[in-house]
Amino acid sequence: MAKDSTKKKRGLLIILLNILAMVILAVLLIIITFRWMKSYTRHGQYITVPDVSGMYEEEAGRVLASAGLRYEISDYKFDKMMVEGGVIEQKPKPGAYVKESRKVYLTLNSGKEPTKAVPDLADNSSLRAAESHLLAAGFKLGPTIYVDGDQDWVYEIRYQGQKIAAGTEVPE
């Protein structure tokens, strides 16, 4: 009977030692993992994104490279107030904190005003339907000019005072 009790105590001691070893190993792994992550992610090390708005692509690329950043053209838009090829927008924004070698996405001015074709609405559409169609297509409407005839009928479409045909490309 005494032998049995000693065996149970020894077995319990081995189990407790194994649990203690697992706890110590888990704590060590957590500490090592967090220290590795801090060095891998360069925690606390950052670069401030410079403002490259209005610069040409080449100049913006040099400024970003000198700051330790990379860039990519993400989009082209039209802005009549800015020179062709100038940076309209950047992401992340100027002054943001980023890691070294981070990619900054630039939107450049295309320099070409976007145009759209005028849909075929003259002489086959009501005024409300034509207005709705043009607004849905992204056009801005000027004042309506009423002429003799049906008041709710579109007889012609004008752009800058000139009558235009369906399919004519006009600036958005």
DSSP 112-159: S--EEEPPS-TTSSBHHHHHHHHHHTTPPP------SS-TTB---EEE
User: 36-73, pLDDT tens digit by residue?
Assistant: 988 787 777 788 999 999 899 999 999 999 999 999 99
Residue 85 has pLDDT above 90, yes or no: no
Residue 103 has pLDDT above 90, yes or no: yes
| Distance from chain centroid for Cα 7 | 68
Q: What pTM does this model have?
A: 0.58
Nearest to 118 by CA among 134, 129, 132: 134
